[in-house]
């Protein structure tokens, strides 16, 4: 595993991100960020990088000096984009139906931005890495009845693009190009490789 003595902190309340970190045997603490998710970026890739940075920095700055020296904070943000138009979480059933109606039968992109913030052991200088992963997802056509039935499960409500690839929506996924875990919410392979460099 990773050879550093840092305490790993996940600045996210997402159960899916927790599961992915646990899946590779990583020990970590969860401290969800309350940072306001505001960005001036229109580009999906730059937007998720900026938001992941805001979340990681929010938690890093809340740590005491001693805690900062011992911690590595991970921030992440995921969006779905169709024709470069960003789709966040639907918030209500009407938005969820509209998003799924737009996505069905088409190919869209999922972007996850990740930021790592830590202090170097010797110099105590704050360091960070930000990156994003992009995965293309193609969905089978869905009838209005199928969309309504899926939305009625409640699963889409807290997910970007109003669907969970690892849940009931798996029935409508035709194929993906890129990292599956990125669509779930965290490109865990890329994250692990970046953490090895620290």
Do 84 and 44 contact (CB within 8 A), yes or no?
A: yes
Do 35 and 58 contact (CB within 8 A), yes or no?
A: yes
Active-site residue flag, 77: yes
Secondary-structure breakdown of the chain: helix, strand, coil percentages, each rounded to the nearest 5: 40, 25, 35
C-alpha dihedral, 83 to 89 to 91 to 92, nearest 10°: 60
Burial of 21 per CB tally in 10 Å (0-12, 13-18, 19+)? buried
State whether residue 152 is helix, strand or coil: helix
CA distance linking residue 84 with residue 183, whole number of Å: 16
Write down the catalytic residue from 58, 77, 83, 121.
Answer: 77
List residues with catalytic annotation: 77
């Amino acid at each position: 595993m990773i050879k550093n003595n840092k305490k790993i902190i996940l600045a996210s309340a997402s159960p899916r991100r927790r599961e992915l970190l646990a899946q590779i045997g990583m020990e970590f603490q969860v401290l969800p960020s309350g940072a306001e998710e505001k960005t001036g970026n229109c580009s999906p890739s730059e937007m998720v990088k900026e938001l992941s940075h805001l979340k990681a920095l929010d938690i890093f700055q809340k740590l005491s000096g001693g805690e900062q020296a011992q911690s590595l904070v991970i921030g992440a943000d995921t969006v779905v984009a169709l024709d470069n138009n960003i789709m966040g979480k639907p918030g209500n059933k009407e938005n969820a139906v509209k998003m799924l109606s737009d996505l069905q039968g088409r190919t869209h992109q999922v972007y996850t931005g990740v930021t790592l913030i830590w202090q170097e052991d010797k110099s105590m200088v704050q360091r960070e890495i930000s990156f994003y992963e992009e995965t293309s997802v193609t969905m089978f056509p869905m009838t209005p009845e199928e969309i309504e039935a899926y939305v009625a499960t409640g699963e889409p409500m807290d997910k970007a693009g109003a669907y969970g690839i690892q849940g009931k929506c798996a029935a409508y996924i035709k194929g993906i190009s890129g990292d599956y875990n990125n669509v779930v919410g965290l490109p865990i392979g890329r994250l692990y490789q970046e953490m090895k460099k620290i």
